[in-house]
Amino acid sequence: MKAYCERQGLSMRQIRFQFDRQPINETDTPAQLEMEDEDTIDVFQQQTGGVY
């Protein structure tokens, strides 16, 4: 997660990571998430605000 943010020039506070539609914590491991080969992690930019 940190390496991704560094490569993209982003702060960890700006980005959210998910696997199987569940948030990933910085301390989670692939084994804890039950990840397998070729699984992907989704990356989203944190957004503030909403619709009025």
Q: What is the DSSP string of the chain?
A: -HHHHHHHT--GGGEEEEETTEE--TT--TTTTT--TT---EEEE-------
The domain 2-45 is placed in CATH, from the list 3.10.20.90, 3.40.640.10, 3.90.950.10, 3.40.50.1970, at 3.10.20.90
Note the pLDDT of residue 17. Answer: 97
Strands of the sheet containing 15-19, edge to edge, are 22-23, 15-19, 42-45
Average per-residue pLDDT for the chain: 92
Give pLDDT tens digits for 1-52.
999 999 999 999 999 999 999 999 999 999 999 999 999 999 999 877 777 6
Q: Residue 49's pLDDT is what?
A: 74
pTM value is: 0.77
Domain ranges of the chain: 2-45
